[in-house]
Amino acid sequence: MLEGDAYNWVKALHIISVIAWMAGLLYLPRLFVYHCQSQVGSNQSETFKIMERRLLRAIMTPAMMFTWIFGGWMYYSLGAWTEGWAHVKLTLVVLLTISHMFMSRWRKDFERDQNKHPESFFRFANEIPTVLMIAIVIIVIVKPF
């Protein structure tokens, strides 16, 4: 069980991880929108490939993993598995993770020059993490059930 300063450190690391992960989840689809506008094989397209790969591998995926590690540690430490709000939050975080996985697949499609989606698709995809984040914050702070 986490107590006192140890709990606060884990909570701080969890929040830092969430912020980094959310930044990537909000930025990567925007890169995809701009990538759609570039010619396949152009310098601009190749630059987007590098940016997308680095964002996903160096920031988003490690941040997602640390979010799960520190969040799971707190979830266990608090005994949150008995709380209804925690089940809803966990479900929403799973949906964020699935969104991350889809973005990873789309990045690979761009890397292979096989993107099949228009800009509008990625503009819509950009809204999904935002809606999930809002719901998670409300669930955690308000704890409606």
**143 labeled binding residue:** no
Q: How buried is 2 (Cβ within 10 angstroms: 0-12 exposed, 13-18 middle, 19+ buried)?
A: middle
Q: How much is the pLDDT for 62?
A: 98
Residues of the chain with pLDDT under 70: none
d(CA 39, CA 46): 10
Q: How much is the pLDDT for 17?
A: 98
Phi and psi at residue 71, to the nearest 5°: -65, -40
Q: How much is the pLDDT for 35?
A: 98
Domains in the chain: boundaries: 4-142
Q: How much is the pLDDT for 64?
A: 98
**14 labeled binding residue:** yes
Give the pair of three-digit tokens for residue 122.
């990625």
Q: At 48, is the secondary structure helix, strand, or coil?
A: helix
Give the pair of three-digit tokens for residue 120.
């509008």
Q: Angle at which helices 61-78 and 84-111 pack, to 10 degrees?
A: 170
Q: How much is the pLDDT for 2?
A: 75
Q: How much is the pLDDT for 4?
A: 82
pTM greater than 0.85 (yes/no): yes
CB 92 within 8 A of CB 22: no
Amino acid sitting at position 126 = N
Q: What is the pLDDT of residues 73-106, one digit of tens each?
A: 998 888 877 888 999 999 999 999 999 999 999 9
Sign of the CA dihedral running 18, 21, 63, 80: positive
Q: How much is the pLDDT for 3?
A: 79
The counts of H helices and E strands in the chain are: 6, 0
